Structure 1
Amino acid sequence: MKLSTKGRYGLRALIDLAVYSENETVSIASIASRQNISESYLEQLIAKLRKAGLVTSVRGAGGGYKLARPAQEISVGDVLRALEGNLDPVECPGLKEESSCDGSEFCVTKYVWQQINDSINQTVDRISLDRLVEESRNVGNKGGSAVSSCCTN
């Protein structure tokens, strides 16, 4: 499974938003500057995150974006699914209730595909945004950037 820049940049942007929006809204320009992401691309990502109910916008002077719910209620899985769609790396028709796979009832490998899919989904669902905010602050206390901008490719 390989995540696109949508997932990677979007997660970084949401961590940034969680870190900086505790007391006020955050502008796309400020996130883009801190995360080295183009504003136009970030606008597209924020639109998807807004549609998924993960961020809200505030209009007017002092407007910007903030999390739609507390960071501990937003998982990495929520963010990645909003931006990437289904995270299952294996699309096996034998895994669906109404299987269109002729050999589904005798297929042994579908067990492997199900375990891989479940493991990925459980992992990203266990990690909450507040945990990443905490990690970000730990890195910041060590002299690093508050939100990592590694993995930019």
Structure 2
Amino acid sequence: MKINAFSDVSLRALLVLSSAPAGELLTTQNIADAVGTPYHHVSKAIVRLRELGLIDVERGRNGGSRLSAAGKKATVGQILRNLDTRSDPAECQSANGDCPLIAECGLRSALARAREAFYQELDGVVVSSLPRLRQMTPVFQAIGLRPGL
């Protein structure tokens, strides 16, 4: 199964925030630079992650984001479920019209079960446990910080 680009950026942002030095606030620009993604995309992800309670955001000159207590415990499965905006795994219903085979479709329900199995497999993976020092050190050095692992 493939995750959408928004979920990918959101997970990357959480990885960076989870390995930031203790107490360090990272700006959206820091995170965008760290994950190699445009500021605009990261800022949308930050807004959504805050809405989900996964990060705390402080505004102002010295403001930024940090992982919240809930974010430290969040699993990849939980996060992806919350970020997945698709109601239909196979676009059986679309603006161009519904699939003529939609009535009692076995494929549609099988795909929905497969998507849930994908999420369940990721329910055991806590995002904050994923970053590694060797992985994050060059990323943080590139943006002028030290990783907090």
**Structure 2 length-normalised TM:** 0.69
Of residues 122, 128, 131, the one that matches 2:129 is: 131
Against the structure 1 CA distance between its residues 87 and 60, is the aligned structure 2 distance closer, same or farther, given a 3 Å change threshold? Answer: same
**Tell me, what secondary structure is at the counterpart of 1:37?**
coil
Identical counterparts, % of pairs = 24
Q: SS where residue 66 of structure 1 aligns?
A: strand
| Secondary structure at 1:126 match in 2 | coil
Map 1:14-29 → 2, pairs under 5 A:
14-20=14-20, 22-29=22-29
Asked if the contact 1:45/1:83 (under 8 Å) is kept, the reply is no
Aligned residue pairs: how many?
131
CA 54–21 in structure 1, closer or farther in 2 if over 3 Å, else same: farther
Q: Give yes or no for contact 2:14–2:128 (8 Å, CA) kept in 1.
A: no
CA contact (8 A) 2:54 2:70 kept: no
* Higher RCO by CA contacts (8 Å cutoff, separation 6 or greater): 2
Query: 2: CA distance between counterparts of 1:40 and 1:9?
Result: 11
* Residues 122, 31 of structure 1: alpha-carbon distance in 2 compared, 3 angstrom cutoff: same
Instruction: Give the unaligned 5+ runs of structure 1.
Output: 93-100, 147-153
- In structure 2, the gaps of 5 or more residues are 93-101, 141-149
Taking a change above 3 Å as real, the CA distance of residues 2 and 77 of structure 1, as seen in their structure-2 partners, is same
For the 8 Å contact 2:58–2:65, the answer to whether it is kept is yes
Once the two structures are superposed, residues 16-71 of structure 1 have per-residue CA deviations (whole angstroms, 9 ceiling, x without a partner) of: 01111532211001111111111111111111111111112112232101112255
TM, length-normalised to structure 1:
0.67
**Aligned-residue CA RMSD (Å):** 3.0
